[in-house]
């Protein structure tokens, strides 16, 4: 069954009484070249297990199942259940868990369904309304996964793959660089989806760092600092950071200078090491 064929998808929908839910980010891939590329570039091969978030009709799930030993997918919409039973019937290495990925205990899921696998990868065409929260959940929970290969909105991909210390970077850029090395893989135009969204997309890959690249004394405080600093992206960070940590501005200016950071710096001018040094300085207070 060709799951990128519009006629096939419409037939499945009619047969099983399924209708798109826009609020769930249901834009399904209809470009046949994209899913095989995500699976290949996402490290799917024999001996590897894959986790997918959001199956749709199973178009990417199939490509993961062809290459990996096992696929576990989390899908929120139970209306897709009868469709998936039909589209994935030839695969006995796929298990679908129906639920909200944000509410799913992924450590427990891996322990229960993927124990024994030396390598686990995540591949997905993410629902755009929760791109950043899903990526940060996958990273912050320190799951035993080696990489995350996901399609996201092009603008989000640019932000995620920006360099920390350059204009395009944001709190999410610092977040992904803390745990991984991001890489832009390829662009996908809006006509590759049904229904077509109003934006283009891109596939990125995050290679998870085995050893932490940065070890601030207090990781929670590090992220509090990053979020406070980027709460006013184009402005000097001294104001929001002083307010967040209740440190008088004169004292914070001295802390910044002692870390080699200008007192007038904007958040996008700081490197990862600068955030780590400032976070340590604040945690010593
Ligand atoms: N993988 C399919 C494809 O490429 O055609 C579908 C991708 S579509 C962009 C996103 C999918 O994620 C939809 O199937 C949607 O129902 C599902 N989804 C949305 N929110 C979710 C959530 N919180 N947890 C799990 N799945 C979710």
Q: Taking residues 238-252, what's their average pLDDT?
A: 97
- Going by C-alpha positions, the residue among 69, 124, 109, 123 that lies closest to residue 91 is 69
Q: Are strands 147-153 and 201-208 parallel, antiparallel or unpaired?
A: antiparallel
Q: Is the pLDDT of residue 203 over 90?
A: yes
Residue 59 in contact with ligand 1 by CB distance below 6 A: yes
- Going by C-alpha positions, the residue among 261, 242, 260, 258 that lies closest to residue 250 is 242
CB 199 within 8 A of CB 250: no
Residue 193 in contact with ligand 1 by CB distance below 6 A: no
CA distance 131 to 139: 12
Q: Is the pLDDT of residue 133 over 90?
A: yes
Instruction: Please give the pLDDT value at position 7.
Output: 96
Residue 56 in contact with ligand 1 by CB distance below 6 A: yes
Mean pLDDT of the chain: 97
C-alpha dist (Å) from residue 14 to 8, 20, 89: 10, 12, 19
Asked, as a colleague might, if the bond just before 195 is cis with ω within 30 of 0, I would say yes
Residue 42 in contact with ligand 1 by CB distance below 6 A: no
- Phi, psi of 185, rounded to the nearest 5 degrees: -100, -65
- Nearest-CA residue for ligand 1 atom 10 is 127
CA distance 58 to 65: 10
Q: Are strands 48-53 and 201-208 parallel, antiparallel or unpaired?
A: unpaired
Q: Is the pLDDT of residue 5 over 90?
A: yes
Indicate the pLDDT class of residue 73, thresholds 50, 70 and 90: very high
CB 138 within 8 A of CB 207: no
Question: Which residue has tokens 């977040």?
Answer: 175
For residue 48, list its beta bridge partners.
Answer: 119
The Cβ of residue 173 has, within 10 Å, a number of other Cβ atoms equal to 24
Distance from the CA of 58 to the center of ligand 1, in angstroms?
10
Mutate to test the pocket of ligand 1, among 6, 28, 33, 54 (most ligand atoms within 8 A of CB): 54
Distance from the CA of 177 to the center of ligand 1, in angstroms?
25
Q: Is the pLDDT of residue 234 over 90?
A: no
Q: Taking residues 64-85, what's their average pLDDT?
A: 98
Instruction: Please give the pLDDT value at position 285.
Output: 84
Q: Taking residues 190-200, what's their average pLDDT?
A: 97
Instruction: Please give the pLDDT value at position 201.
Output: 98
Domains of the chain, earliest start first: 6-208 (3.40.50.150), 219-283 (1.10.8.100)
- Going by C-alpha positions, the residue among 87, 185, 76 that lies closest to residue 130 is 76
Instruction: Please give the pLDDT value at position 263.
Output: 97
CA distance 140 to 156: 18
Indicate the pLDDT class of residue 233, thresholds 50, 70 and 90: confident
Instruction: Please give the pLDDT value at position 149.
Output: 98
Cα 120 from chain centroid?
A: 15
Q: pLDDT tens digits for 102-125?
A: 999 999 999 999 999 999 999 999
Q: pLDDT tens digits for 148-168?
A: 999 999 999 999 999 999 989
Residue 4 in contact with ligand 1 by CB distance below 6 A: no
Q: pLDDT tens digits for 77-100?
A: 999 999 999 999 999 999 999 999
pLDDT more than 70, % of the chain: 100
For residue 251, the number of C-alpha atoms closer than 13 Å in the C-beta half-sphere is 10
Question: Which residue has tokens 């290495």?
Answer: 93
Instruction: Please give the pLDDT value at position 121.
Output: 98
Residues whose CB is less than 8 angstroms from the CB of residue 224 and which lie 6 or more positions away in sequence, other chains included: 244, 245
- Going by C-alpha positions, the residue among 165, 210, 158 that lies closest to residue 183 is 158
The Cβ of residue 94 has, within 10 Å, a number of other Cβ atoms equal to 22
Instruction: Please give the pLDDT value at position 212.
Output: 86
pTM for the full model? 0.95
Token pair listed for 279: 């976070």
Instruction: Please give the pLDDT value at position 156.
Output: 96
């Amino acid at each position: 069954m060709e799951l990128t064929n519009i006629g096939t998808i419409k037939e499945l929908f009619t047969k099983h009484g399924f209708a798109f839910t826009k609020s769930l980010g249901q834009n399904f891939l209809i470009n046949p070249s994209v899913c095989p590329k995500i699976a290949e570039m996402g490290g799917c091969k024999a001996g590897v297990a894959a986790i997918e978030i959001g199956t749709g009709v199973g178009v990417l799930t199939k490509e993961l199942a062809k290459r990996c030993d096992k696929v576990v997918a989390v899908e929120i919409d139970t209306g897709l259940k009868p469709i998936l039973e039909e589209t994935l019937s030839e695969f006995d290495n796929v298990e679908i868990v129906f639920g909200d990925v944000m509410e799913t205990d992924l450590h427990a899921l891996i322990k229960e369904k993927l124990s024994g696998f030396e390598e686990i990868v995540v591949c997905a065409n993410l629902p755009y309304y929760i791109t950043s929260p899903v990526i940060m959940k996958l990273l912050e929970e320190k799951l035993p996964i080696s990489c995350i290969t996901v399609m996201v909105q092009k603008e989000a991909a640019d932000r995620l793959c920006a360099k920390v210390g350059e204009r395009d970077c944001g709190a999410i850029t610092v977040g992904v660089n803390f745990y991984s090395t991001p890489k832009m893989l390829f662009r996908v135009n809006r006509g590759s989806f049904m229904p077509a969204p109003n934006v283009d997309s891109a596939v990125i890959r995050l290679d998870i760092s085995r050893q932490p690249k940065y070890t601030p004394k207090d990781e929670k405080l590090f992220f509090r600092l990053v979020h406070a600093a980027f709460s006013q992206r184009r402005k000097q960070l001294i104001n929001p950071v002083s307010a967040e940590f209740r440190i008088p501005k004169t004292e914070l200016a001295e802390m910044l200078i002692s870390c080699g950071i200008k007192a007038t710096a904007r958040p996008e001018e700081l490197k990862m090491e600068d955030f780590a040094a400032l976070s340590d300085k604040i945690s010593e207070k």
